[in-house]
Amino acid sequence: MSPKSVEAEPRGGIQVIERMMKLLDTLSYHHDPISLKQLALETGLHPSTAHRILAAMASADFVERAEPGTYRLGIRLLELGNIVKSRINIRDSAMPLMQQLHQRLGESINLGVRQGDEIVYVERTSSGRSSVRVVHLVGARAPLHVTAVGKLYLAEGNAESVRDYARRTGLPGRTPGSITNIVALEKELARVRRHGVAFDNEEIELGLRCVAAPVRDDAGHLVAGLSVSAPADRYSDDWIPIVRETADALSNAIGYVAPDK
State pLDDT tens for residues 233-257: 999 999 999 999 999 999 999 989 8
> Does the 15-77 domain belong in CATH 1.10.10.10?
yes
Q: Are domains 15-77 and 86-254 of this chain identical in fold?
A: no
State pLDDT tens for residues 2-37: 444 434 445 667 888 999 999 998 998 888 899 999
Cβ neighbors of 11 (< 8 A, separation 6 or more) are: none
Q: What is the pLDDT of residue 197?
A: 98
Q: What is the pLDDT of residue 158?
A: 95
State pLDDT tens for residues 176-232: 999 999 999 999 999 999 999 999 999 999 999 999 999 999 889 999 999 999 999
Range 159-162, long-range pairs (CB < 8 A, 24+ positions): 159/186, 162/186, 162/189
Could you give the CA distance from residue 258 to residue 149 in angstroms, rounded to a whole number? 20
Domain ranges of the chain: 15-77, 86-254
Q: What is the mean pLDDT of residues 140-169?
A: 95
Q: Could you tell me which CATH number the domain at 86-254 has?
A: 3.30.450.40
Q: Are 69 and 54 in contact (CB under 8 A)?
A: no
Could you give the CA distance from residue 119 to residue 141 in angstroms, rounded to a whole number? 5
